[in-house]
Structures are given as C-alpha cells and as structure tokens.
Amino acid sequence: MTTPIIFDTDPGVDDAQAIAIALAHPDIELLGLTTTFGNVEVATATYNALLLSELAGQSIPVAQGAAAPMSKPKSPPPAHIHGANGLGNIDLPPVKGQPQPVSAGQFIVDTVNARPGEVTLVAVAPLGNLAAALQIDPSIVDKVKRVVVMGGSIREGGNVTPVAEANLFNDPHAGARVLTAGWPLTMVGLDATHRCVLDPAAMARIAEAQGELGKVLAGSYEFYKAFYQQALGFDGCCPHDSCALAWLMKPELFTTQRGHLNVVTEGHAEGQTIFAPEGRPFITERWSTTPLAEVCLDADGAAVVDWIVETLS
Ligand SMILES: [Ca+2]
C-alpha cells in the first residue's frame, strides 16, 4: 500500500536527501512539495524543490509558501551551514518547471480535501505553511491522516539556542499552532535525529546510485559535512529531515511516547518544545492541557541510516 504525502521543506542539504527518498521510495506517493523560508529564502527553496525533482526525472507539483515568520523578525538564512544556494554553493543548472499558481497553504488544503483521511503531511522546515493551511481551513485537522514534524527537542537540548531546534526557533508561533492543533501528530526531533550519522561511505553509495541527483547530494553533503566537522567534531552529518520519512515508513526504528506538547513563543527560550508525558501529574495541569501527540525520544541510528542508504541505492 502506498503512503501519499505532501513534503513541506526549505531545501537545504538534509532536505535534499529527504526529497530524494520521497522521490525514490516505491511505497511513497509524493503529491507535492511545499516550500518555505528557513535554510534559504523561499524563492531559493522553490527553485531547489523544482530542481531536485527534475534531476530525478520526475514532475512533482511545487507550491511556494511562507517567506517570513508569522510574528518575529526573520533571521538571515544560515549560509555557513547549507551554502547561500542551500545546496552547498555547488553550480546548479536552470529549472524548466514553474511553481503552482496557489500558495503552499492553499495547496495543502486542496490536496487534503481531495483525499480526506489519506494524506500525511511531512513537515521538515519552519511550520508557517501548515499554520497557514490551518488558518484557511481548520477542518483539515480531522481530514489529514497524520502530520510528521521534523523539529523540536525534548531531552537533547537545542541546536540554534541552548534549548531550541532551528525549525521551531525560526517560527515559534507557527510551531505552537501546528504542534497543538489536535491532529494526529508525531514529532521527530533532535532526540532522534542526533542518533543518526550519515558518514562519507554511506554518501558514496548514494551518490553512485542516484545519477544527476546524486551529484547534487554528494556535492552539497561535502559543504554540510565541513560544518559538522567544525561545530560538532565528527565526520558526517545528521540526516535530520530524512528521519521524518524513516519514522513514517519504519516506525519500529524509533522509541516514542505520548504526551502533551507546548512551544515557547517569546523570550530567551523561544522555540523550545516542552513535553509533558501522558498521565504524569505536575504541580498544576498547565502543561497537560494541549492535545495528545506522539514524540520520538530515541532512534536506532545505525538502522535508520541503513534504511536511508538502501532506499537511495
Ligand atoms: Ca529542512
């Protein structure tokens, strides 16, 4: 049985790896790519989304969305991590395709309403597009099959602040709406993604098997890896965004717990995700009033990376 998804993305080196998986996996039906600011400006994200699917020889609808956060000022894109072009500053060809004539939020609403109960939203970027879709049509809460978010961190600490993961930090107000909307939701955050390291041998196998797309994956990986080497001192990178798809297709590789999520929207801890496990009493109930969600607290990193390499080679 195939799994129809919309992939919400800000490509981005690790986004590109995940898009390759969504394009390649025989059991994933990629209904569309929706783009947002984040790792890059939104126009660059849209170009990269079109390019990656064209390099794979596929024509996938791309709908452009959020150019900035809902409320806070936008930070400049992290060009030192993903490159100014989002793909490690390697030379890229022009694209043939055009984005859809509707916004990302409208595309999500239309697609979910066309196939109620079937579509999974996989979001691996700041969450403005999903927040916009909720604003346009709140009834999609009951019509999506599931929402899988790569973002947040419970016990692992943050990656852009001591407590915040980048996607939630970049738009905490949108994140708060999406993580507490009450739809079936799984959060795949740094607690899981930091267990996974895509090493150079794994990338070599992927590059060899992926043709023209493989050249872009391998070239952008070299740039991204240099950042990991400098910042964290290991030879490889965390394939954050691919982990959301790994959870969707291979949930048995992850340890999850149900509970209530809250997102801090202001102040020093902005973008922090707070998790109150189901049934656990705290001094007041204030952290346990949001709808239940599922949160990944650990992953079998080696098995996840094996799955990524198998899917792409
Ligand atoms: Ca991303």
CA-to-CA dists, residue 209 to 14, 15, 148, 214, angstroms: 18, 18, 27, 7
Sheet with 254-263, edge to edge strand ranges: 62-64, 28-35, 3-9, 120-123, 146-150, 185-188, 292-299, 254-263, 273-277
Q: Which residue has the tokens 């590789």?
A: 253
pLDDT digit string, tens, across residues 183-224: 999 999 999 999 999 999 999 999 999 999 999 999 999 999
**Centroid of ligand 1 to alpha carbon of 279 (angstroms):** 32
CB 247 within 8 A of CB 189: no
Q: Summarize the confidence of residues 112-136 as an average pLDDT.
A: 98
| 160-68-52 Cα angle (round to 5) | 80
Query: In this predicted structure, what is the pLDDT of residue 164?
Result: 98
Residue 62, pLDDT > 90, answer: yes
pLDDT(1) > 90:
no
Q: What pLDDT score was predicted for residue 255? A: 98
Which region, left, alpha or beta, applies to residue 147 given φ > 0 means left and ψ of -120 to 50 means alpha?
Answer: beta
Looking at the predicted structure, is the pLDDT value of residue 232 above 90? no
Q: Is 80 tagged catalytic?
A: no
Which of 3.30.390.10, 3.90.245.10, 3.40.630.30, 3.65.10.10 would CATH assign to domain 3-312?
Answer: 3.90.245.10
Distance 280 CA to ligand 1 centre (A): 32
Q: Residue 276: pLDDT above 90?
A: yes
Catalytic one among 25, 194, 240, 260? 240
How many other C-beta atoms can be found within 10 angstroms of the C-beta atom of residue 104? 29
User: 245: which 2 tokens?
Assistant: 């798809």
* Rounded distance from Cα 242 to ligand 1 centre (Å): 9
SS3 of residue 28 by DSSP: strand
> Any catalytic annotation for residue 142?
no
- What distance in Å separates the CA atoms of residue 309 and residue 204, rounded to the nearest whole number? 10
Quote the ligand 1 centre to 38 CA distance (angstroms): 7
**What average pLDDT does the segment 139-157 reach?**
98
The dihedrals phi and psi of 43, each to the nearest 5 degrees, come to -65, -35
Structure tokens at 168: 């939630």
Structure tokens at 9: 């993305």
Residue-level pLDDT at 49? 98
Active-site annotation holder among 8, 10, 15, 241:
10
How far away, in angstroms, is 104 Cα from ligand 1 center? 15
Tokens of 106: 């409208």
**DSSP assignments along 60-124, one per residue:** --EEE--SS-SSSPPPPP-HHHH-TTSSTT---PPP-----SS-HHHHHHHHHHHSTTTPEEEE-
Is the pLDDT assigned to residue 231 strictly greater than 90? no
> For residue 222, what pLDDT is reported?
96
Q: Tokens in use for 254? A: 């992850």
CA nearest to 188, candidates 100, 105, 255: 255
C-alpha to C-alpha distances, 304 to 95, 100, 192, 218, 252, nearest whole angstrom? 32, 33, 10, 19, 10
pLDDT at 258: 98
pTM (2 d.p.): 0.98
Taking the centre of ligand 1 as the mean of its atom positions, its distance from the CA of residue 158, in whole angstroms, is 15
C-alpha to C-alpha distance for 293 and 189, rounded to whole angstroms: 13
